[in-house]
Amino acid sequence: MNVVPKLFVAIDQNDINTAKELIQKLSPEACGIKVGKELFTACGPQIIDWIQRKDFKVFLDLKYHDIPNTVEKACFAASKMGVSILNVHSLGGKDMMLSAREGIDKSNNNPYLIAVTLLTSIDSKTLEEIGITSSIDDQILNLAISASQAKLDGIVCSAKDIINIRNSLPENFLYITPGIRLDNKVKDDQKRITTPLDAVKMGSKILVVGRPITQAENPAIVLNQIIDEIS
């Protein structure tokens, strides 16, 4: 069984030494590490290997979105690295997500395969700008159902989305929530934010927390405060 922490810390750095210094302030008993585009592009697979040797679980957040054959091979390669969670973008369509599932199934590992629905930085105005006329709620529901039909394990979504979609999805579906802020009044590039406790109450199973921890004077203290809050 793939057992993962309830919280992953997003390490958004483009320098390997800075990333390592930050990660070493954290505990693998308290959290996993999310490696996104910035860190992976700067450091490559070696940072995944280093993090795993420190006993952390890894969430590889590259949001694969390409033709099905390419995504299948990318997911196979990611699975071979031994990551615990990886994701694709559901806007790539059901065939692409099915291919992602096939790529993982061909590997010797079994990471959770998660679909991104709509980024938490997107609001209704952004949807209109890109030509999507359905509401955020309807769009997320449609994408989540498509991910479920493609046999994915869950979705990345705002905690506020869960109440509108959970009755249409499998009972064991995973909801991973980024955009976590310690104060709902914080203003930055994340538009659909929630506090850690509110997210868990709304149904989030795994939280992804970046700046509130990584930009803190003492990241470990903030991490432990969040863990205590949601336990």
Enzyme catalytic residues:
63
CA quadruple 113, 208, 70, 104: dihedral positive or negative?
A: negative
Q: What one-character DSSP code corresponds to residue 179? A: -
Closest CA to 196 of 229, 160, 148: 229
Counting runs of H as helices and runs of E as strands, what totals does the chain give? Answer: 11, 8
Asked if 42 and 13 touch (Cβ cutoff 8 Å), the reply is yes
Which two structure tokens, joined as six digits, stand for 34?
A: 């999310």
Tell me which residue has tokens 């149904």.
Answer: 203
φ and ψ of 58, to 5 deg: -120, 130
CA distance 105 to 107: 5
Phi, psi torsion values for 118, nearest 5 degrees: -115, 135
The token duo for 54 is 């420190």
- Give the residue among 132, 116, 129 at the shortest CA–CA distance from 179: 116
